């Protein structure tokens, strides 16, 4: 983090997620990586601008979303605990990595400089 400008650079994202039984581990990792990327974008880049209830930047030409060049290195660890009611012990992976990513970035900013971030862009 640059204390003069407030610029934040995320160098690495690590996700460890309990997935039940990973029937296709590569697919599970890719799903978690995608959610980490979405959370990274929510946490640092994707600002919604509104005026009188109308979104001013409702397309990708105006709204900044992360590209492969913006994304940090990602590491994914799958924690397997077969679910007794899931098919073959699996759980839905979905976007579970999305929820904690932006708050984790905000906490890293707090640890780095003591400023508490309470709102997404």
Active-site residue set:
95
* H or E element, residue 26: helix 25-44
Pick from 33, 39, 20: which is nearest to 75 by CA? Answer: 33
> d(Cα 90, Cα 2) in Å, to the nearest integer?
42
């Amino acid at each position: 983090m640059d204390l003069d400008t407030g610029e934040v650079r995320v160098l690495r994202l690590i996700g460890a997620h309990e997935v039940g039984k990973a029937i296709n581990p590569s697919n599970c990792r890719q799903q978690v990586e995608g959610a980490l990327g979405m959370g990274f974008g929510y946490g640092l880049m994707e600002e919604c601008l509104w005026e009188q209830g109308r979104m001013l930047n409702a397309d990708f030409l105006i709204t900044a979303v992360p590209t492969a060049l913006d994304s940090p290195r990602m590491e994914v660890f799958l924690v397997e605990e077969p679910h007794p009611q899931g098919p073959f012990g699996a759980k839905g992976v979905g976007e579970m990595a999305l929820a904690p990513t932006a708050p984790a970035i905000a906490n890293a900013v707090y640890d780095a400089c003591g400023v508490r971030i309470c709102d997404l862009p």
